Amino acid sequence: MTEATRPDGDQLDWRERAFDLTRGIAAYCQSPVVAGLARVIAKHPEADISNAFNHKQVACKVWAREALFNSLGGRFGRIAILGGWYGVLAAMLLEDRRFDIGRVESIDIDPSVAAIARTLNRDAGERFAAPTADMYQVDYAVLGADLVVNTSCEHIADLAGWLRLLPRGTRVLLQSNDYFSEPTHISCVETVEAFERQAGLASLAFSGALPQKKYTRFMLIGSV
């Protein structure tokens, strides 16, 4: 039986349907990110990819990518993304042809996310890596990133303490939110001004807020 005539009934579970659909969307829009999502759906049933790639998460990362390009341009030798989860932002940056990026490291303390991030970013080859590490234990001088990204600031206990680990002058993109009711959000802020005070950056190229249905996301781009 060919693919075209395969019965489309109950035998096909939602995962197979989602795989077929994302693969089709990837072929239609020629997107490595969407092709990577199809691979994740097929290979990692344990991954919470529909949460990591829901429309709010995507909106926040598109916002980050646009503001980054407009504030700092598109040329980066090495980008480090801390709390990088499944590597969605890395994939979105590596796919965007306006950017010229040497390598992206998506670093996360949770060892279970690395394989999923690698599957998502497989087409980037050596330009992508997903090391497992605690962001407080990374030697940032050795890492040598010319941009450090943390879109998980609401998850980390001591933002200013972490930022003090970065070499002076390092450029950063930070996101947090006011979604206090989520139990894993231990470091939320009420306003973007509060986020500016919490981070205490040496220079600020961008500061903004993106209202979502249940919460507002905040973003700072600048240097330590």
Ligand X SMILES: C[S@@+](CC[C@H](N)C(=O)[O-])C[C@H]1O[C@@H](n2cnc3c(N)ncnc32)[C@H](O)[C@@H]1O
Cβ atoms within 10 Å of 88's Cβ, excluding its own:
26
**In angstroms, how far is the first alpha carbon of the chain from the final one?**
60
The minimum distance between CB 134 and ligand X, in angstroms, equals: 5
Residue nearest to ligand X (CB): 83
For 42, phi then psi, to 5°, come to: -75, -40
Report the C-alpha gap between 20 and 99 in whole angstroms: 29
Determine, following the binding rule CB under 6 A, whether residue 85 of this chain makes contact with ligand X.
yes
Determine, following the binding rule CB under 6 A, whether residue 152 of this chain makes contact with ligand X.
yes
For 76, phi then psi, to 5°, come to: -140, 135
Sort 43 into a burial class: Cβ within 10 Å, 0-12 / 13-18 / 19+.
middle
The minimum distance between CB 20 and ligand X, in angstroms, equals: 26
Determine, following the binding rule CB under 6 A, whether residue 65 of this chain makes contact with ligand X.
no
The minimum distance between CB 151 and ligand X, in angstroms, equals: 3
Determine, following the binding rule CB under 6 A, whether residue 134 of this chain makes contact with ligand X.
yes
Enter the tokens of residue 195: 């986020």
Determine, following the binding rule CB under 6 A, whether residue 163 of this chain makes contact with ligand X.
no
DSSP class of residue 122 equals G
**SS3 at position 183:** coil
Determine, following the binding rule CB under 6 A, whether residue 198 of this chain makes contact with ligand X.
no
Q: Between residues 136 and 180, which has the closer beta carbon with respect to ligand X?
A: 136
Determine, following the binding rule CB under 6 A, whether residue 155 of this chain makes contact with ligand X.
yes
Determine, following the binding rule CB under 6 A, whether residue 82 of this chain makes contact with ligand X.
yes
Determine, following the binding rule CB under 6 A, whether residue 91 of this chain makes contact with ligand X.
no
Interaction site with ligand X (CB under 6 A):
57, 82-83, 85, 108-110, 113, 134-136, 151-152, 155-156
